[in-house]
Amino acid sequence: MHLRLAVLLAVFCLTACNSKKSAPRAGADTTDQPAGEVLELVFSYGSEKEEWIKECTAAFHARAPKTTAGKAIKVLAIAQGSGDCIEEAISGSPRKVHLTSPASEAYVKIGNARWASRAAGKELIAKTENLVLSPVVIAMWRPMAEALGWPQKAIGWSDILSAAQDPRGWSAYGQAQWGRFKFGHTHPEYSNSGLISVLAEAYAATGKREGLNAEALAQPSVRQTLLGIEQSVVHYGSSTGFFARKMFANGPAYLSAAVLYENNVIEANDAQRYPDLAFPVVAIYPKEGTFWSDHPIGVVEREWVTAEHRDAARQYIDFLLARPQQERALSFGFRPAAVDVPIAAPISTASGVDPKEPKTTLAVPPADVMDAALALWRETKKTSSVSLVMDVSGSMRGSRIKNAREGGRQLVANLSARDRFSLLTFSSAYQWLFQDVPLSSGRERAQQAIGGLIEGGGTALYDAIAEAYRAQTERQRADPARIGAIVVLTDGEDTDSRLKLEGLLQRIRFDSERQPVRIFTIGYGEQASEKALKAIADATQGRFYKGTPENIGSVFRDIATFF
């Protein structure tokens, strides 16, 4: 499921289906409003708490809540990355958000700083309350953690750095069969856990626990630490949940460890959710300190938020913080923000976590320091080599090709200047327009080429993917330090390839030890074969997206977060 775009319209059990009239609240004007008068409260939130919010929102609607003026309250709850929560609140597009809850205070700080620079010092989110909490942890397969000395020895970022930099990989720990040390965290510009990872790496390099500043970030040791750790990253991504699911479903061959939340570890060890888990997963609370994902919730201080929205927001927040909802949060693996709810199972060692951890935390630095840390990350992040495989068959005519061209250009725009890019188009046959162009000098050329694509002919999808995979694999062999990926966009089923799907799947099968090339597939419109495209993405540990002319821009943007 595409979390970034997921719009969660919970079940609204409003007055129409509620035969029992709710008791009027003291002092409220209980005069019934004309039928159908509804106040919609747009609520964006970090996708980490999606399941809990979905359940709570449905329960909230079931109570038929009303504003003081008597309008029915409908909460439109939208799960997305924390970065997007803030960006949307600032831009007011595509939705005008009234209430938001990113995964941590760090994004509130960033949002307030960005908005203050545009709006004469005003805050974007003035007051917040914590909904739930979860420490940021390094989730690791238990045997791997034990190989590093856990639990007798406290593990931290320095151990991750050592493992990441050791060319012998797990052999250095007497476990040659595990291959390379493979690490993962999300994209820090889109996802809270990614941002936290970068800040924690920087803190660990300085030896500080607070007071991270520009001067400290300028130290060569900080750059070296970030470079060392980031080179072991298999890929980035926009969603912590996606990372977690991939890790737990694909086992230690896919990832040795990843920066996740404590609640993700609890989910992993839930036998009902992951009956075939390769090994138990444990939460490592880094010895240098970590951050709390504290899920602040606050009204967006923009002109479209009325007193009625604030009234509705207050009722919704109070509902989320009430004991029954907080107890449910515990069952989802979160630490309740209501302190009268004691910490109990599943937050226990049986679920791979420690309720008495973390022992020390790191201070969220000011927004300008976080921006400086992100700039340093962009300079030290793992680079990518990306091939875009674009369907230009006759069926792509009209808005399809137009919007796909725009989306492809956006993909190129979002890649780093240190990345390399290739473009292969296909209709009845494939054609390389250019290969392995460094974007430092070739970005404009790449965007012009994508902008000039025209449609016509059949669909030799499998042949095109096979060719792109062959060429990309060769590039990976020559330059194994890069993330290798292919992005495929097609709007139809294969009609012209000599190669069949089974043959293609055999050629591209994932091998984590042989510098993998991941394929991200976009089924563009209803005619695309979702089944085949999903099989291709799954075979390479990539990801399948369902695209439309309307969402294709954000699909490409999301794919770019993996690199």
In the complex, the smallest distance separating the C-beta of residue 330 from other proteins, rounded to whole angstroms, is 11
Query: Where does this chain bind other proteins (CB under 8 A)?
Result: 25-28, 130, 133, 135, 154, 209-210, 287, 289-290, 292, 294, 335, 337, 339-343, 356-361, 363
Contact 187, 416 (CB under 8 A): no
In the complex, the smallest distance separating the C-beta of residue 58 from other proteins, rounded to whole angstroms, is 26
In the complex, the smallest distance separating the C-beta of residue 25 from other proteins, rounded to whole angstroms, is 8
Phi-psi region of 9 (alpha: psi -120 to 50; beta: other; left: phi over 0): beta
Residue 554 is classified by DSSP as H
- What does the alpha-carbon distance between residue 239 and residue 217 come to, in Å, rounded to a whole number? 26
- What does the alpha-carbon distance between residue 190 and residue 106 come to, in Å, rounded to a whole number? 12
- Nearest Cα neighbor of 375 from 409, 420, 417 is 417
Nearer to other proteins by Cβ, of 290 and 384: the residue is 290
In the complex, the smallest distance separating the C-beta of residue 130 from other proteins, rounded to whole angstroms, is 7
Residue 538 is classified by DSSP as H
Nearer to other proteins by Cβ, of 238 and 326: the residue is 326
Phi-psi region of 371 (alpha: psi -120 to 50; beta: other; left: phi over 0): alpha
In the complex, the smallest distance separating the C-beta of residue 340 from other proteins, rounded to whole angstroms, is 6
In the complex, the smallest distance separating the C-beta of residue 360 from other proteins, rounded to whole angstroms, is 3
Cα maximum dimension of the chain: 74
In the complex, the smallest distance separating the C-beta of residue 136 from other proteins, rounded to whole angstroms, is 12
For residue 23, the one-letter residue type is A
Nearer to other proteins by Cβ, of 174 and 342: the residue is 342
Residue-by-residue DSSP string for 258-317: EEEEHHHHHHHT-TTT-TT-SS-EEEE--TT-B-EE--EEEEB-STT--HHHHHHHHHHH
Nearer to other proteins by Cβ, of 143 and 355: the residue is 355
Q: Is the dihedral of CA 82, 385, 407, 489 positive or negative?
A: negative
Nearer to other proteins by Cβ, of 209 and 245: the residue is 209
Nearer to other proteins by Cβ, of 356 and 498: the residue is 356
**Cβ count within 10 A of residue 144:** 21
Nearer to other proteins by Cβ, of 293 and 385: the residue is 293
